Amino acid sequence: MDIKILVVQLEAVKGDIDKNISKIKSLLSESKFLCADLIVLPELWTIGWDCSSFNSSCEELFSSKAYNFLKELALKYNSNIIGGSAVLRKDGEKDRNTCLVFNRSGNLISTYDKFHLFSHRGQSEGSFLEEGETPVVVKMDIGNIGLSICYDIRFPEMFRLYAFNDADLIVNMAAWPKAFTDEYVTLVKARAIENQIYLVSSCLTGKINETFDFSGNFFIVDYRGKVVASLGEEEKVLYASIDIEEMKQYRKQLPILKDTKLKYQIMEK
């Protein structure tokens, strides 16, 4: 089964969701690939990565601009949407870094709250937001998709769990620092290779302020870690088509996942 994917890379305007919505509309309207099965946005495309503004920019999920815009996208392009992430709250819960997932009919079919919060290198995401409660595999008409956000990529246990729960594809939405781009590229490829799975990354690009800029350079890799399609640092929409059946045949020929032990324990000597 071939899946046609559009991935949006943009330089988010700090704290201005209306301008960022306009940017995404423009980028998609300029793309010649309008028949997509899946559209993917980056982490915090709504306001950019700026911990100090997270709480002041937070909206209620079902009345949020992000919710309404992503629903509109799904209906306009007849596409499944993995909506990057926004700072949202629901049902009186604390603010979270949340991904909204819509089907082609514009129905919200799943949410994913970032499971691992990044609070290092001078950042303090965990001081402003509450972590999610569980990883999520969402079932779509194109297959099963595992969801992850940025820092999650450093935790292979989560991605192996997705592989064991019949994920056909994993998406990582990121706001990754430009200074550590090489690390991100290596981690994405490693997660794909060790789990024999396609992995789609979507990252912010450009600057959020004078001291912090993002890597861009997002890409799609196959189940062997081979780059299927990629971008540099420009604001642009990337198109790629991936073959899920080809991946499944490869797994049959080289059944690495079946050789994984249910438990690994070190013997003390």
pLDDT value of residue 124:
79
Q: E strand or H helix at 236, and its extent?
A: strand 236-243
Query: What is the pLDDT, as a whole number, of residue 121?
Result: 66
Model confidence at 213, pLDDT cuts 50, 70, 90, reads confident
pLDDT value for 214:
78
Task: Note the pLDDT tens digit of each residue in 40-58.
Answer: 999 999 999 888 888 888 9
What pLDDT, in 10s, does the model give residues 104-118?
999 999 999 999 998
What letters, b where the CB count within 10 A reaches 16 and e where it falls short, cover 70-105?
bbebbeebebbbbbbbbbbbeeeeebbbbbbbbbbe
Confidence at 7, pLDDT banded by 50, 70, 90: very high
CA distance 135 to 17: 26
Q: What is the pLDDT of residues 126-168, one digit of tens each?
A: 788 999 999 999 999 999 999 999 999 999 999 999 999 999 9
**Do 33 and 4 contact (CB within 8 A), yes or no?**
yes
Q: How confident is the model at residue 31 (pLDDT cuts 50, 70, 90)?
A: confident
Higher local confidence (pLDDT), 102 or 179: 102
Residue 267's pLDDT is 85
pLDDT, position 211? 65
CATH annotation of 2-259: 3.60.110.10
Residue 215's pLDDT band (boundaries 50, 70, 90)?
A: confident
Return the pLDDT at 91: 81
Domain boundaries, the chain: 2-259
Residue 120 pLDDT > 80: no
